[in-house]
Amino acid sequence: MRGEQQSAGHRGHASVADEWESTAEPAASRDFAGKRVLITGAGSGIGLATAHALARAGASIGAVVRSAKSEEAVRQACVMSPNVATALADVQDEAGFSAAVERLAAALGGIDAVVASAGISGPFGASVGEISAVSFAEVLNVNVVGSFLAVKAALPFLRQSPSASAVIVGSDSGFVVAPGMLPYVASKGAIRQLTAALSYELYEDGIRVNAVCPSVVDTPMSRRDLQQESFSDAEFPVQSAHDVANVICYLLSDKARTVNGVSLLSDFGYARRSSFPA
């Protein structure tokens, strides 16, 4: 959905790297050479696009995914990375997830940056009376608690990095609301405050924490939720996962060293439009 990341599947990944190469910048910078980046939700959508972009920029990639199929997708997308390590884990399992992060840190020799991209949309199109407490809590657990755990698990390694940073994938739904998305909207609103609080808590450690908050992104999950085979004829602006990955790369980079605690909207300016009929 809006600003989302991980889904049960993705388009045929055999040509995923070739597809992105056609939309990526002609000459990839090496801004992340020597950097080691942990990415959750790396198996598809925004997470996979970010892994690809960072690999092109020279980063070593530690990817947390949910399936062997997603592991292969990451490996194909990150062929330009000097080091790619993957681990199967669920952000809802703190012990298992933390152990996976430790294994990835060992494989990479440390962690300099985190991209918390794992997330779900939850019950889509459901009214208040149709949403169970269990399904509501699951969305909060994956989207909010999972993002917190991504930073927490990597914290011992981030503290050892001279230029550590983290980016959490939020959504414009943390700023505006739409019907039928109650748990999702609540979770993305919480992401904004989580980002602000983490940036304050970790300031003395020299760790920056920001969030990117995109509007509708063309990902497998968005297509499923909105029942779209393609967004080519959409009546609203749609960005690619690669567009969001570019913003994430900027926020992670030393070019954004003064940016901290920010939830950055990436929505073509729609959230700032007035409804006044003039």
35 or 222, which is more confident: 35
Q: Which pair of tokens denotes residue 9?
A: 């599947």
Question: Closest by alpha carbon to 58, among 29, 87, 86?
Answer: 29
15 or 34, which is more confident: 34
In the predicted model, what is the mean pLDDT of residues 106-128? 95
Following DSSP, what letter does each residue of 24-61 receive, concatenated?
S-SS---TTTT-EEEEESTTSHHHHHHHHHHHHTT-EE
Cα gap 267→221, rounded to integer Å: 18
Question: Closest by alpha carbon to 180, among 137, 145, 226, 218?
Answer: 226
Task: Looking at mean pLDDT, say which of 61-70, 116-125, 209-218 comes out highest.
Answer: 61-70
Predicted confidence at residue 148, as pLDDT, reads 99
CB 177 within 8 A of CB 198: no
User: What are the extents of the domains in the chain?
Assistant: 30-269
On average, the pLDDT of the chain sits at: 88
122 or 170, which is more confident: 170
CB 266 within 8 A of CB 213: yes
Q: Would the pLDDT of 246 be above 80?
A: yes
Note the pLDDT tens digit of each residue in 7-26.
Answer: 333 333 334 444 545 444 54
CA 111 from chain center: how many Å?
Answer: 17
Of the ranges 10-14, 202-206, 217-221, which one carries the lowest mean pLDDT score?
A: 10-14
Note the pLDDT tens digit of each residue in 56-115.
Answer: 999 999 999 999 999 999 999 999 999 999 999 999 999 999 999 999 999 999 999 999
Predicted confidence at residue 124, as pLDDT, reads 86
157 or 2, which is more confident: 157
Predicted confidence at residue 18, as pLDDT, reads 47
Question: Closest by alpha carbon to 115, among 139, 146, 89?
Answer: 146
Alpha-carbon torsion, ordered 271, 45, 247, 275, to 10 deg = -10
Catalytic site residue from 184, 200, 203, 270 = 184
When the candidates are 3.30.465.10, 3.40.50.720, 3.30.160.270, 3.20.20.540, the CATH number that belongs to 30-269 is: 3.40.50.720
Of the ranges 33-47, 203-217, 221-235, which one carries the lowest mean pLDDT score?
A: 221-235
Predicted confidence at residue 232, as pLDDT, reads 64
* Size of the chain, expressed as the number of residues it contains: 278
Give the percent of the chain with pLDDT over 70: 82
Predicted confidence at residue 212, as pLDDT, reads 98
Query: In the annotation, is 203 catalytic?
Result: no
